[in-house]
Amino acid sequence: MCLVFLSLFGLIYWIARPLSFFSEFFGNPFSVFLLTLLVVVSTYRPFDSFVTFLLGKLFYPSRSRRIRNLQEMPPVLMQTLDLKELSNLIVNTVAEVMGQRIVILALWEKSRYSVVSSWGLPVGKLRKIELNPESPLLRFLQEHRISVDRNELMRQLSWPDVYEFSKEFEALGISFLLPVCREGVWVGFLGLSGRLGESDFLSPEEREALGHFASMSAIALKNAAAFEELRQANERLKDLQSKLLQTAKLTAIEQLATGLAHEIHNPLTIISGRAQLLLLKKGKNTDEKMVEEVLKTIVKQTERAADITRKLLMFSEPVSSGRDVIRFENIIDDTLALISYQTALDEITILKNISKDLPPFRGEVNEIREIFLNLILNAIQAVEQKGTVQIKVSYLEREKTIEIRVQDTGKGIRAEHIPQLFNPFFSIREGGLGLGLFITQQIVHRYHGSVHLESEPGVGTLVMVHLPASEDMWQGQPALPDPEQVPVK
């Protein structure tokens, strides 16, 4: 350094001395000294880096290559959000680039260390590794947060400490520890054993590159851990939604239980009566035509009971691909069949109006069934007795949406309650679970649709569902006027 300074001083003094304009300034050796010092201070760092880089390229090409490879890895780390994949990538990169025999990555989580990835370590030995956070070595690393070289550390310790620290290095099978932290946030550490077929010595440049790599790894690991927490939270949310949906289905079926029991009981009673009639005629001269009529009645009633159970089982079918063509009229008919006894008993008239020119709409059949069951059940429960429920499905060509309207002549809903109706577990009906409209809204939102409710106390309630219909799927003619409303018997 002194030689460079003196050479530069002599060069500046020699060049500037003949210049008459600057002769007064440069004629003073002290002025030249200050100028030389200023030049050296301002250019030392880039000059030193350039010289180091040049010497490294000439005399240590493998070291330069390792450092360059480490410097190129951080962008790749930042793009990896899977925690296990990222941990393996970090360990494999250090092992392959730095030529290490053994590399381990231990992360700090819930007040303890756990080895999440390793290279070159036998499975049997990996299982035996115990990382005690209170051990002198790991406590020293976490407190000082600097890279720890075994040989260098041993020279600084007292004899009792040398034994304890050596034992821990041997247990881990490593000779170099690197903290994985960033801006005071402790993430864990990397352990390295030494190079294959080369000196275990790491140059200051390699240590600096490894330190930067570990720092960027800390950021990537924290991002991946946060992403994993979000993924797990999302899984828990999906599980909760699934349970809520199942609860809503069971509640709806429970509400239908009385009517369904009656619907199934009636054909079974007829079947039993006809079968007893045949038993009474056993061994007697029987009219074959009468026997045929009895058997036809039994078959008909059996099919009736089977149809009811089939429609009920539709609500427990496994989820399909979500790409089924939805036949709205069939779904509405199946749903109405489940509540026919209840509507007949309460003298509720059901009017359905299904446009014949609906565009093809694909979705999950069970989800669409759930929408109609929830809305129709809410409507007949609001009417209670001697009222009307209108169900209309049409295509709004301008908005490119399918509109579902369920309107009742029930007692209506007060205005202050309407904003809360789509909240889970909110119900204005005594004994209501308060999940029907919430589940309906969740399903509709999955189709990028909307649900709107209007109500007037003493007049009734109207629920409108709008489901976007893909324009490229619509191949029919413009919608014709809706057919006349058809009462459902």
What's the rounded mean pLDDT across residues 384-395?
Answer: 90
pLDDT tens digits, one per residue of 288-332: 777 777 777 777 777 767 766 765 665 555 555 557 788 899 889
DSSP 397: T
Tens-digit pLDDT profile for residues 240-259: 777 776 666 666 666 666 55
Same domain, 71 and 213: yes
* Mean pLDDT on 98-111: 87
d(CA 331, CA 371): 10
Q: What is residue 191's three-state secondary structure?
A: strand
Q: What is the pLDDT of residue 85?
A: 92
338-350 CB burial, b ≥16 within 10 A, e <16: bbbbbbeeeebeb
% of the chain exceeding 90 in pLDDT? 13
Span 263-276, mean pLDDT? 70
Q: Assess whether 163 and 204 both reside in one domain.
A: yes
State the pLDDT at residue 197: 53
Whether residue 61 lies inside any domain: the answer is no
The answer to whether residues 263 and 344 touch, using CB atoms and an 8 Å cutoff, is no
Residue 364 covered by a domain: yes
Q: What is the pLDDT of residue 471?
A: 42
User: Are 331 and 478 part of one and the same domain?
Assistant: yes
Q: Is residue 130 included in any domain, yes or no?
A: yes
Closest CA to 404 of 442, 456, 354, 438: 354
Of 178, 210, 229, the residue that ends a domain is: 229
Single out the residue of 164, 102, 110, 175 nearest to residue 139, CA to CA. 164
Question: CA separation (Å) from 171 to 61, 72, 121, 354?
Answer: 34, 32, 12, 76
Residue 20 has pLDDT above 50, yes or no: no
Most confident of 94-108, 190-204, 334-348, 458-472: 94-108
Average pLDDT of every residue of the chain? 76
Residues 23 and 135 in one domain: no
Indicate if 177 and 79 belong to the same structural domain.
yes
Among 22-36, 115-129, 297-311, the least confident range: 22-36
**pLDDT band at 114, cuts 50/70/90?**
confident
What gap in Å lies between CA 264 and CA 73, rounded to an integer?
Answer: 69
Same domain? 341 vs 461:
yes
Domain of 215 in residue numbering reads as 66-229
Report yes or no on 264 lying in a domain: no
- The pLDDT confidence band at residue 86, using thresholds 50, 70 and 90, is very high
Range 42-47 average pLDDT = 62
**Pairing status of strand 450-456 against strand 185-192:** unpaired
Is residue 275 domain-resident? Answer: no
Residues 196 and 342 in one domain: no
Q: CATH number, domain at 355? A: 3.30.565.10
- 91 pLDDT higher than 80: yes
Identify whether residues 100 and 30 lie together within a single domain: no
Which residue would you say has higher pLDDT here, 393 or 436?
393
pLDDT digits (tens, 9 = 90+) for 127-177: 777 788 888 888 888 888 888 888 888 888 888 788 888 888 888 888 899
pLDDT at 463: 93
201 and 137 co-located in one domain? yes
Residue that terminates a domain, selected from 229, 251, 284 = 229
Over residues 165-222, the pLDDT tens digits come to 888 888 888 889 999 988 778 899 999 987 755 555 678 888 888 989 999 999 999 9
| Domains: count for the chain | 3
Determine the pLDDT at residue 394.
Answer: 93
The predicted pLDDT at position 474 comes to 35
Top-confidence residue, 122 or 232: 232
Q: What is the pLDDT of residues 447-479, one digit of tens each?
A: 889 999 999 888 999 999 999 986 443 333 333
Please report the pLDDT score of residue 479 as a whole number. Answer: 37
In a domain, 302, yes or no: no
Model confidence at 441, pLDDT cuts 50, 70, 90, reads confident
What pLDDT was estimated at residue 130? 75
Identity of the highest mean pLDDT range in 42-46, 70-74, 103-107, 244-248: 103-107
Q: Does residue 235 lie in a domain region?
A: no
Instruction: Reply yes or no on whether the pLDDT at 489 is more than 50.
Output: no
Tell me if 362 sits within 8 A of 323, measured CB to CB.
Answer: yes
261 domain-assigned: no
Q: Indicate the burial class of 14 (C-beta count within 10 angstroms; 0-12, 13-18, 19 or more).
A: exposed
d(CA 484, CA 381): 25
The region of weakest confidence among 77-91, 94-108, 198-212 is 198-212
pLDDT of residue 263: 62
77 pLDDT exceeds 80? yes
More confident residue, 155 or 41: 155
Amino acid, single-letter form, for residue 242: S
Please indicate, yes or no, whether residues 47 and 85 belong to a single structural domain of this protein.
no
Same domain? 78 vs 215: yes
User: Which CATH number is 203's domain given?
Assistant: 3.30.450.40
Highest mean pLDDT, choosing among 71-75, 151-155, 391-395: 391-395
* Same domain? 138 vs 19: no
